[in-house]
Structures are given as C-alpha cells and as structure tokens.
Chain A
Amino acid sequence: MAVDLQAAGGGPVLSIENVDVRFGGIHALKGVSLTVNAGEICGLIGPNGAGKTTLFNSITRLSTVTAGSIRIHGRAIEAVPARRIIGLGIARTFQNLGIYGAMTVLENVMLGAHHLTGGRFVEAMLRPGRARRVESETEQHCRAILEDFNLSGVAEAAAGSLPYATQKRMEIARALASRPTVLLLDEPAGGLTHGEVAEFGELVSRVRDHHGVTIVLIEHHMGLVMSLCDRVEVFHLGRNLASGTPAEVKANPDVIDAYLGRAR
C-alpha cells in the first residue's frame, strides 16, 4: 500500500519505507511502510503476530532491518547504534514494562535523561561539584515530570513495589524525561482496568498537547484507539493492511476479515 509522503501537517517525523525484517526463517515484516507527521497520535493495530512490536524494535534498532529504510526527521538510521536513537528524539516504552524494579521511581525517570548529560565517569570522579550541579538540574527536570504525572508521592518508592498501572505511567514519564519528539508506546493500556484505560487516554493526549510530542502507539484496546488516535494503521501478518481515520478503518472489510477471520 502506497503511503502519501506529501502528507499535510508538520511533515514526516518518522518515515518508514518497504521495511523487511527476518529472524532466521521468520519473515516478521514484509515491505511495511508508515509515515508519521509531527503532532499526530498514530495508532498501530493488528492481530497478534502482525509485526507491530517488531516495527518498534526496528525503529529503535533493537532489530536489524534486512531491507527498506527508516528515517527519523529525514535522517536514515540504518547505521545508527541502538543507544543513539534516544538522542534523535525517539523514546519508547516496552510491551511488558521495561522498568528497573529495584530502583526508585525518581531514579527510573532520571535514567530517561541519562543520554542528555550522563555517562561522564571522569567528571564524576574529579569534578564532583559540577557533577552534582548537573545531577540537581536533572533531578529538577524529572521531579517536574513526576509532578505532572501525579507520581511525586511515590518518587522515592521502589518501582517494583508499585501497582502495574503506576509502573506504566512511570515508564511514560521516563520516556518523556529524555525530551523526545516522538514517543513510541507499546500497548500502554495492556493489563489496565476499565477505569484506568480512560485515565490513560487522557494522559496520552495531555502529553501530546503539553509536551508537543508526536505519539505512535500499539494498542489492542479498540475503545482507546478509536477515541485517541488521529490516524490508525492496520497491520496483518507483517504487511500493511489498511490506513485511515479510526472510523474509516473500523468500516474497512479487510480489517474486519483480519480480526474476525470471516470467509470471503
């Protein structure tokens, strides 16, 4: 399916063209394309095994693309090491949480800001005053995010001791601490209760509005996808199946086929 590269809006922040990913004999993605414009909330849906998470892993260089191209703000990322992706403005959350349970919430969120000022061993050893100043600036920045996410009360609690919904919220807070332009959320509402899902939707759209980030989310919770997303891309068996507004996608017979397996 062709993707319109001249899409309206702020121009593509993320453009993926004909991407192939193979793991040994498994052909996880077969010529997938996706364009995400600045300020959008773009939903990726599709049955299990459609390749949605593999696509996220390709964007963050955890999986290697065998063919096709991925561009972030127009820059090809094939040769960029995984740890540099966050510096290009792409932050992500993980499907089954990627948090550090033994660390406090504040420490987890401050790790999000690691790529901005972190990793200076010599400075930490020889210029402790400077290191402490940078640390306190980072802490201030992160505490503001915790405040915004209503997590200030648990800032010093071990992340592993918190309820699942709070951990998910913390993971998004950590992603935001990296000052991203694009946020990739992998099933942010997975495992949440009905009430939590609604709260979550509000949080995501608030993040987009307040922090000016573009959001791509993988989600199975149709209610959330339909109410939250500006645009929905449907994947099936490693290919693009359909694309459009939530209403268009919902009415697409191919999509209904893929989900319900109705005989043609």
Chain B
Amino acid sequence: MSTQLLRFAPAALVAALLGLPLFVPDFLLFEISIAVSYGIAILGLNLLLGFTGQICLAQGALFGVGAYTTAILNVSFGWDPVATLPFAAISAGLIGVIIGLPALRLQGLQLAIITFGVASAFPQLLLKMDTLTGGVTGLATDQPFAPKWFPGSQEAWLYGLSLICAAISIVVVTRLLRGDTGRMMRALRDNPVIAEALGVNLTKGRLAAFAVSSALAGLGGGLFCILNGFISPQSFLPMKSIDILIGGIVGGITSIAGAFIGALFVVFVPGFTTDINPALGGLIYGLCLIGMMMIARQGIAGLRMEKLPAAILGVFKFKSSSRFPGAVPGQLGGE
C-alpha cells in the first residue's frame, strides 16, 4: 500500500508545484521563486561537497557571477534575459574551474579559506569594475513579461521559469550521480588513494565537479537577477556563501530534494524568527540552526519520521561518540 503511494509521490509533487500559484499569494510565490534560485546554487554545492567532498565557500560569489552575467548581457548588450541564462551558467562554470585549481592540492579547511577569500573579495571587485557592473548603484534588468495567453500573474510566470531552471539542474545532477561518474565522485571523496589505483583521474573528477557546481550557482544567480530585476554588490556579500552552505547542510548535503528544502529554510526561517520577536530574530535563528544539527544531523531530507522522537531524545544524551556518521564523510580532515 505505502509503496504504491510512493510510486505516485513524484507525480503528486510535480502537480502540487504546478498548482501552487492557484493557492499562494503572489508575494509568497516571488519568495518561493527566489528560494528556488538559491536551491539551484545549493544543488551545485551538494554535488561538490556532498559527493566529491570538496568545500566551496565562494558559491555566493559564483551566484553573483551568474547574476552579473545576466544583468550585463541584458543592460549593455540588450539580450533577452532568459537567453542569457546559459551564459550565466557557462561564465560561472569557467570561473569555478579557476577557483577549483587550488583544490587539486588543497582539501578541507585550507580549501574552505581559499574559496572564502574569493567570496570576500568579490563585492569589492564588483565596485572596482564599475564601468561594467554599475558599481554601488547596481544594475536594473528587464523582466521577461508573461505572454498574453498566460492566464496567471507575472509572478506565476517567473515561478514557472524558476521551476524549469530547477528541473534542468535536477536532470543534470541526477545524470551525473548515477552510473560511473557518480561512483567515481564518491570514490575520490571516500578514499582518493584507492580511487587513483582504480584509474580514477582525480584532477578531472574534482575539476568537473567544480565546473558543474559553479555553473549551477551561475544559473541560480542569473535566475535570481531576472526574478529580482535589480542587483548590486550588496546582494553578494560573503555571508551569501555561508547561507548557501547552511542551506546545503540543513537540507541534507547528499540529497537533491534537500537542496531545495535547505533553500526554503534559509529564505524563510530568518523571516519567521524575526516575526516571533523582532528584537531577537537572530538569536532564535541561531538556536534553530543549533537545534537542527542536533536533531537532524543528516539534514532535513535525511530525517526519518519514525526516528524523530529518538533523535530529539538523543540530544539530551551527552555521549562523546557520535552514533551518526558525519553529514559529509571526511570533508574537513584534509588529505
């Protein structure tokens, strides 16, 4: 019975996502679309961190590269915003490969610091390149308007665009994770020495993961630019990269659904906590994060409902040994 229900689950989920504009007000639909754009960047990070064990704290900057590619192609060259999206992905992918080069020698914490350096430098770099990026005033882009035949609102049209981008991203990641490429990435994550003895090209595997991960960040960024209609360096501060990492871990770093669940978390939960108490929003959000990691160590997507009571009780057992494996096996130990 339950397995039969599960078979219809994906179809039901798609139907629910497509039907959402009928039930949800436009401003909420806009926020969900923004969350989807983050979700695409988080999905990239999940591929990189969850499956090849490489950390990248420049995902927010790569998101920005995609956003600025879309904005510049639209503002300076008059391209249709939607047509710029593949180029947003490609430009971020290329820059991601350059960022990934140090990853061939450095792993874990060193790589975290190097990539965070990129994230820290990025907003300043945007200000310095103001002839192209508009500097502190930012860039305002055209929005692709819904065609006349479309019955819904402008927000619903853009929500549809977000879903299409997410679907393409999910297809790409699913294809990479199944079969040989997926095994290869997990193998080089779990034990690079054995992987190499088995003929795995570590350089190629690591750089390919960086390229795809960054391209997804770029696609998400391009989408973000279209949704928002305006971007400035303020949108791509280093904290954005941390938010993307938090979304990845909280959602479930080895889960495709987890990427989007995590994105919804980082977009909506800070707002919820501020609603609870405007003065203590940050404090409550912080406690939420701490609680999440104590109860759902594998992320929300890894949570099993029947094990939930035990997990909550487990928080109060102060044992030194972790009964759950880390969310990301061996990612912070270095080589």
Contacts and interface: CB of A to CB of B under 8 A. Distances in A.
Dominant SS among interface residues on chain A? helix
Interface stretch (A37-45, A125-133, A210-218): A125-133
- Give the size category of B's interface with A: 20 to 34
Interface string A117-151: 11111001100100110110010000000000000
Interface string B175-203: 11011110110110011011111111110
Contact of A118 (B175, B184, B194): B184
B199 A83 contact: yes
A200 interface: no
Given A114-B198, A114-B199, A124-B175, A62 B193 contact: yes
A86 B195 CA distance: 11
B186 A103 contact: yes
A82 B196 contact: yes
A125 B197 contact: no
A120 B181 contact: yes
Contacts of B180: 110, 114, 117-120, 124, 131, 134-135, 138
Interface string A177-213: 0100000000000000000000000000000000000
A111 B181 contact: no
B61 to A, nearest CB: 23
B172 interface: yes
Dominant SS among interface residues on chain B? helix
Nearest to A101: B190
A84 interface: yes
A92 interface: yes
Nearest to A84: B199
Interface string A82-96: 111111000010100
A119 B182 CA distance: 9
B104 to A, nearest CB: 13
A114 B197 contact: no
Contacts of A60: 197
Contacts of A94: 194
B186 A87 contact: no
B190 A114 contact: no
A115 interface: yes
A102 interface: yes
B175 A119 contact: no
B199 A100 contact: no
Contact of A98 (B175, B197, B208): B197
A112 interface: yes
Contact of A87 (B178, B184, B187, B199): B199
A86 B183 contact: no
Interface string B47-63: 00000000000000000
Nearest to B180: A118
A115 B199 contact: yes
B325 to A, nearest CB: 8
Contact of A114 (B176, B200, B202, B208): B200
B205 A119 contact: yes
Contact of B183 (A87, A99, A111, A134): A111
Given A100-B187, A100-B191, A115 B198 contact: yes
B204 interface: yes
A83 B212 CA distance: 23
B197 A132 contact: no
A114 B184 CA distance: 8
Interface of A: 60, 62, 82-87, 92, 94, 98-100, 102-103, 107, 110-112, 114-115, 117-121, 124-125, 128, 131-132, 134-135, 138, 174, 178
11 contacts: A62-B193, A102-B329, A103-B187, A114-B187, A117-B180, A118-B181, A119-B201, A121-B204, A121-B208, A125-B172, A125-B212
